Structure 1
């Protein structure tokens, strides 16, 4: 690990350790906004000709470092961070596409950083605040409650479900508790045409692991180049693509799974413990249309919307990720 990486890790870990030393009282909404909103910035992505493509949000986690959702940066050739009339060029530092978290670097950037809240303090029913730039409207705050903690099959937290409204442009924004601690990065929201108050964030605690996981992701292509492995003979695709059937699903979901396999990538299929399902894909949204966020959280959302209990991602593109 380089000195810079080590310094970032220590800075973030140091912020987290402060949580155990502080018994901060709950703040009023206006007080909380005044404290943490300077750490929330707009991200504007550009195409190869420098023309704006889309916008999202990012949160300052250390000096010159911000975190956003990776899908915010997807397909862009360059991007900048903005607040009011101030703009800075930024670069990608650490990508963790699997968790949809990307750390970005901004030179000569000294905005205040947030404190990171840990997952073992999260409770269903607690008050939360989302701050971001929905539809490009920067410094927007909404409130709600933590409505569920969505676990993976391994028993680890995958998504924080919230009722606080978020929209296109909120991706990468901050989810805060009443003490002003960052507990999540907002990543997916429901189209109100189909359902309300079903929105998701990824745990902020994952930020502590981002430098290590991101560096590992960056090292993979270089390792493969330095030590090329022998090319193995082509293997037949798994039988699931030929005779799709998931034993725990209802017949209607078996039919939905067959439809899912005909959709373009990127796509995701979610299943539940009581036989329900949901799916999403990049172009058309999914079982119900969304606003273009990553397919995994939307597939889980549609599974929940259809009555699913303990919904989890079963397949991403053509790969079974949770059996």
Structure 2
């Protein structure tokens, strides 16, 4: 069975997604809003996410607009998807790219839409302002019920490791389908991106601090050096600008040009569709023992190369970023 690896993007990231705009950190505080006012303010920014995984399987979650064309969500909502859409009432938008946090332990993704959302971005609360006991509101699509509002408190702030921003624990009720939605304060500012619920605990949910979203472009850019060194390990030839050299084998979107792996081309075609949905940096890998998959961060690529070495098989890149490199690689 073909393994599936993890994913990522590059230096044009901030400009391409407009992520430089999402540091709307308020210097002063407004009066607390009523629950009705909070919902009226933030609900236009909350969308339902649908990830088509093929074979009539669809994952449903939530997302919150952080720029006019980008939404934050939990990665597990879109894992394994060959196409992703976001909906809000009668509006459906197709997602063009999925950007993932370079740290595989962070289940944080940013979705870029093919068409601008034409909505004001939510304002993000610095993690240092969060307090246990603070009143918060969750807005998402539990069980697909679009833009559902629930209320609770910040129950705890739990650092996962020294020096890291804390995970936000909340008593605001969240359910399956809420993942990726927004957790907001009484001013309608984004506190966190809902990530998970505890089984059997109706008032025990968790959210990633919204400040992580702000840090994502810099984190992805910082990983580029490690990523490019690993590309060389796979035999990918890089030009003076650090970009992979095209082989001329095929156009990037041509599924029919993929090497034949097994009698049924569907698995490799679906895996490649998942690759095309990922933001840069990204690599589609094929091994000499007929396995394939996508990696978009250095940790995932390292793990894949380690697995190839242990099996004593050849790893080969079919495509890197927006370039097909198949057949134009140095031998390892």
How far residue 227 of structure 1 moved from its aligned partner, in angstroms, is 4.7
1:137 and 2:140 aligned: no
1:5 and 2:11 aligned: no
**Residue 296 (structure 1) aligns with:** none
Find the partner of 1:106 among 110, 113, 119. Answer: 113
**Residue 68 (structure 2) aligns with:** 63
Cα distance change, pair 220–42 in 1 and its aligned pair in 2 (3 A): farther
Find the partner of 1:47 among 20, 45, 53. Answer: 53
1:149 and 2:157 aligned: yes
**Residue 81 (structure 1) aligns with:** 86
The answer to whether the 8 A contact 2:43-2:139 is kept is yes
How far residue 214 of structure 1 moved from its aligned partner, in angstroms, is 3.5
Q: Distance in 2 between matches of 1:5 and 1:64?
A: 12
TM-score by length of 1: 0.64
Aligned pairs, how many?
222
| Greater per-residue helix proportion | 1
Greater RCO, 1 or 2 (C-alpha within 8 Å, sep 6+): 2
The answer to whether the 8 A contact 2:96-2:114 is kept is no
Q: Distance in 2 between matches of 1:157 and 1:10?
A: 20
Gaps of 5+ in 1: 230-323
1:1-323 matches, within 5 Å, as 2=11, 5-6=14-15, 8-13=18-23, 15-16=24-25, 19-20=26-27, 22-48=28-54, 51-96=56-101, 97-109=104-116, 110-192=118-200, 195-215=201-221, 222-228=228-234
Q: Distance in 2 between matches of 1:130 and 1:201?
A: 10
CA RMSD of aligned residues (A): 2.1
Q: Distance in 1 between matches of 2:108 and 2:225?
A: 17
How far residue 76 of structure 1 moved from its aligned partner, in angstroms, is 1.1
SS at match of 2:105: helix
The answer to whether the 8 A contact 1:33-1:141 is kept is yes
The answer to whether the 8 A contact 2:85-2:95 is kept is yes
Q: Distance in 2 between matches of 1:150 and 1:199?
A: 12
TM-score by length of 2: 0.62
The answer to whether the 8 A contact 1:72-1:171 is kept is yes
The answer to whether the 8 A contact 1:115-1:181 is kept is yes
SS at match of 2:77: helix
How far residue 5 of structure 1 moved from its aligned partner, in angstroms, is 1.6
Gaps of 5+ in 2: 1-9, 236-332
Q: Which runs of 4+ in 1 moved over 3 A?
A: 1-4, 214-223
The answer to whether the 8 A contact 1:94-1:214 is kept is no
SS at match of 2:166: strand
Moved more, 91-100 or 183-192: 91-100
SS at match of 1:186: strand
